[in-house]
Structure 1
Amino acid sequence: MDEWYRIDNTGKIFHAVSDTTNSSVFRVAMILKEQVDPECLQSALDIVAVRFPTLTVRVRKGLFWDFMEHNDEQLLVKQEVDHPCAPIDRKENNAYLIRVLYYEHRISVEIFHSLTDGGGAMEFLKTLVYQYLRLKEHDVTADDKVLRPEGSPKREETEDSFERYATSHSVRRPEKRGEKAYQIEGKMLDPPGIHVVHGVVDASALNRHAKSLGTSLTGLLTSVLIDVVHEEKIRQGSPEGNVVVALPISLRRAFPSETLRNFFSVANIGVPMDGYMQFDDIIGTVTEQLMEKTDKARLQQGINRFVSLQSSLFIRATPVFLKYPIMRFGFNQIGERAKTMTLSNLGNLTLPESMKPHVKRMEIILYPTRKSPINCGVGTLNDQLTVTFARSIEESTIIRSFFRRLRQMTGLEVMVYSNRWGEER
């Protein structure tokens, strides 16, 4: 009998809300110091795919929820030719919701968000790159920092940690709906796609600058982002509305878990900006909200509320063809309207010392949506912090202003490069 898995509590949402303007596909990537050998990468993937059974699945339709089952087809490596985070065509991808791409020195893993979050995706990518380097006969060791390809999956890796850590399943009243946030508008790219801009900066130096201002690295980046978005908002003479940055928060630190499935919360960091506001005040407000909204007790409330909602008899008994439109409406009217954009910082990736000489840096690309046409991914590797903006609109003022402000504020050099999608007609 084929092994099957329930889609985790967060994953169900992405099944409901994905469409042509919201692929729900994100990317994690590593830039190597050598050209990628596609045959070797395919051999590595054939070995690694078996190690991650909850990622190498196909989705089946159920009456009340979709579910995942083991996929016996081969997951094929492909050369990157399209824009990042394009919707995954299951028919062209042997029914998988994960794709592995290569381009020159880059190995990319793109995953439909129902399968896992950034933490789970990075574990897959680390193991894939590790196995690739082994097959290329580089002297690398796992050092307990990489899940070994030949290892057996642990039961803890497949668990739904929301269920494990929920302390109450009673149905709670939802939180009061927040005010509508300011939302960025623009002309859609032609041809439609995702334009990506990466900015690389010295992570240690930027972290020192953040601490000198009394905040964290994430706090600094969020504050700069809010400031430049607000400037653009004022320039356009837009009506009042808070600038709100949604920050996905991994729950694994506060609630120890080895799960390779979704286990994160979202903290909406908003600054009520009416006219000009000093940057120091923005940093103070952002830092205070970050501490408040990542407090363990606050995160526990979020877990309980999330699980209790999906445990309700009404939700469980509603057929999926009715349930998904309801969830999509809730996502658009409550989730999307409450934020200006998303900034996802996966933090400092820890690799074995033997792997570091073979890898330059990492990239995180977060798909834009109709109401958040610009989103931001951040990741650090080898002391290189990469900030990546993905946009589906032509307007790029906010992105250019962000990198210019970062340079002016810190005095640090920022190396910027792009995929140039939509620039050449």
Structure 2
Amino acid sequence: MIEEEKTYPCTDIQKDNPLRIIYFNNKLSIEIAHFLTDGKGAMLFFQDLIEEYVEEKYFSKSSRNRNFGNVDIIENKGKNENEEKIEIKDKDLIKNKKMIDFPKKKGDKIKNFENKSFLENKKKILEKNEEIFGNYDEENGVKESKYVDLYEKYMRKVSKETTIKSAFHLPIKILEKGQYHITTGEISVDNLKMESKKYKTTIGKYLLAVYFKVLLDRYSGAKNPIVIGVPVDLRKIFEEKTYRNFFINITPSVDASLGAYSLSEIITYLDNYFALKITKKEFYKSIYKAMNPMRNIVIKSVPYLIKRIFFPFIFDYYGERGYTTGFSNLGIFEIDKKYEKYLKGFRFLPPPSKRCKIKMGVISDSKKVYINFGNLTADYDIERDFFVYLRKRGIRSKIVTNYF
């Protein structure tokens, strides 16, 4: 269901509502649960949604004679945790006009729509993304899914991947439930390219190295290793096309007790670590480790209700126990050039985590890189240190927050 944004992002999450489409003034966002898809899958879906919307609003014949109609794109009801959010801003708007002319409300519910043109577009979007949402036969009320479990497909009985059991955790108190502070830095792609080329590395690895550097400098006395969880898109590795989850976290780590690290040392470490870890053979080990518990007879025998109650706590304790923080880089948000002038910018907000407290998400377009920190605390030293570090190297950032 399309709804107006009234809360902090990724906080009003319904368990039976895995996908929400949200608007606020000229901003359009989606929030999508991780059990449906990963960050890359969400971005692919959002690209389809934006292209259909802009095509209908600015390029269709009917748009010249009427305002853009509105529809319930996805029916959903209820709350879920572990969500990622992608949002976009529209700049080519008449003053005081919203990005979408949303429907009138009847009580607390949004009324149904009669816009046939957009209903057809809705079908196109859902058909293109039926791997996520299933193929719904409205006449017979049957929902079929073409989903293929790629983790199952590529599972091999190999030795398990070894990972750090307990990482350093940020010693910061979290905010009251329902608050999620976002800091976004908009940076020129060209400036970051120039700087990363000095170190013969990519923009993504450069930003990850700066993140490590900032954490190591601030927490030089950390007794446990500083570990950053980095999701890797497996679609390219295994040459698969899917809108569903197909990623594995790798866990580069640095031991602060060994002394101070220069940025060059960290980049050299990351180059070597990525070269060793991002291979099919290594991912077979990661997939086996992730899938093996699910095949356990004892775990399979546990009733679903018990799993639903206790597994989130188990994941919180064991799953993210090995991470200090997270760094997700979605890369370039690619969209047809004819639509670009209607779009102002992007955000990618990682899911909030009580264990990690602060996470970083990166997305870019052809001109800018958008660095987004999601923070469950009232301490913004890490974000400040990060952007100050870049500023000292001549990389200016336009900072936008939702808490000042």
State the Cα distance separating 1:108 from its structure 2 match.
Answer: 0.3
Give SS of 2:127's match.
coil
CA distance in 1 between counterparts of 2:34 and 2:129 reads 21
2:124 counterpart of 1:149: yes
Question: Residue 338 of structure 2 corresponds to which residue in structure 1?
Answer: 354
The amino acid across from 2:8 in the alignment is H
Give SS of 2:236's match.
coil
Give SS of 2:232's match.
strand
State the Cα distance separating 1:191 from its structure 2 match.
Answer: 7.1
Select between 223-232 and 298-307 the one with higher mean Cα deviation.
Answer: 298-307
Note if contact 1:368-1:375 (Cα within 8 Å) is conserved in structure 2.
Answer: yes
Question: Residue 251 of structure 1 corresponds to which residue in structure 2?
Answer: 234
Note if contact 1:127-1:147 (Cα within 8 Å) is conserved in structure 2.
Answer: no
The percent identity for this pair of structures is 24
CA distance in 2 between counterparts of 1:151 and 1:364 reads 22
2:366 counterpart of 1:382: yes
2:122 counterpart of 1:166: no
Distance 1:277-1:316 versus aligned 2 partners, 3 A rule = same
Question: Residue 17 of structure 2 corresponds to which residue in structure 1?
Answer: 96
State the Cα distance separating 1:333 from its structure 2 match.
Answer: 3.9
Specify every segment of 5 or more residues in structure 2 that has no aligned partner in the other structure, as ranges. 62-120, 133-145
CA distance in 2 between counterparts of 1:155 and 1:360 reads 29
State the Cα distance separating 1:153 from its structure 2 match.
Answer: 4.2
2:192 counterpart of 1:209: no
Question: Residue 200 of structure 1 corresponds to which residue in structure 2?
Answer: 186
Give SS of 1:292's match.
helix
State the Cα distance separating 1:326 from its structure 2 match.
Answer: 6.3
Question: Residue 256 of structure 2 corresponds to which residue in structure 1?
Answer: 273
Note if contact 1:156-1:258 (Cα within 8 Å) is conserved in structure 2.
Answer: no
Note if contact 1:199-1:386 (Cα within 8 Å) is conserved in structure 2.
Answer: yes
- CA distances 1:107-165 after superposition (whole Å, capped 9, x unpaired): 1000121111111211221122112212213379xxxxx99926834876642342463
- CA distances 1:161-191 after superposition (whole Å, capped 9, x unpaired): 42463243x5x67544524211112233357
CA distance in 2 between counterparts of 1:233 and 1:150 reads 46
Of residues 289, 292, 298, the one that matches 1:314 is: 298
Superposition TM-score, scaled by structure 2 size: 0.75
The amino acid across from 2:331 in the alignment is G
Note if contact 2:184-2:399 (Cα within 8 Å) is conserved in structure 1.
Answer: yes
Q: After the TM superposition, which residues 296-307 of structure 1 pair with which residues of structure 2 at under 5 Å, given as runs?
A: 296-307=280-291
The amino acid across from 1:149 in the alignment is K
Distance 1:113-1:352 versus aligned 2 partners, 3 A rule = same
State the Cα distance separating 1:370 from its structure 2 match.
Answer: 1.4
- CA distances 1:314-370 after superposition (whole Å, capped 9, x unpaired): 332332244456644552343312111001000112111111111122110012211
- CA distances 1:256-293 after superposition (whole Å, capped 9, x unpaired): 22221111100111112223222211111122112222
Question: Residue 19 of structure 1 corresponds to which residue in structure 2?
Answer: none
Distance 1:151-1:243 versus aligned 2 partners, 3 A rule = closer
CA distance in 1 between counterparts of 2:159 and 2:307 reads 19
Superposition TM-score, scaled by structure 1 size: 0.71
Note if contact 1:336-1:371 (Cα within 8 Å) is conserved in structure 2.
Answer: yes
2:171 counterpart of 1:185: yes
Question: Residue 219 of structure 1 corresponds to which residue in structure 2?
Answer: 205
Distance 1:333-1:150 versus aligned 2 partners, 3 A rule = closer
Q: Which runs of 4+ in 1 moved over 3 A?
A: 150-158, 172-177, 321-330
How many corresponding residue pairs? 331
- CA distances 1:190-229 after superposition (whole Å, capped 9, x unpaired): 5740010000111233133213202222211111111111
CA distance in 2 between counterparts of 1:84 and 1:258 reads 29
Distance 1:303-1:108 versus aligned 2 partners, 3 A rule = same
C-alpha RMSD of matched pairs (Å): 2.6
Distance 1:287-1:149 versus aligned 2 partners, 3 A rule = same
The amino acid across from 2:235 in the alignment is R
Question: Residue 9 of structure 2 corresponds to which residue in structure 1?
Answer: 84
Specify every segment of 5 or more residues in structure 1 that has no aligned partner in the other structure, as ranges. 1-74, 141-145
Distance 1:151-1:227 versus aligned 2 partners, 3 A rule = closer
Of residues 125, 129, 143, the one that matches 2:46 is: 125
- CA distances 1:51-86 after superposition (whole Å, capped 9, x unpaired): xxxxxxxxxxxxxxxxxxxxxxxx2x1121210111
Give SS of 2:170's match.
coil
2:214 counterpart of 1:228: yes
CA distance in 2 between counterparts of 1:231 and 1:315 reads 42
Distance 1:260-1:232 versus aligned 2 partners, 3 A rule = same
Distance 1:150-1:231 versus aligned 2 partners, 3 A rule = closer
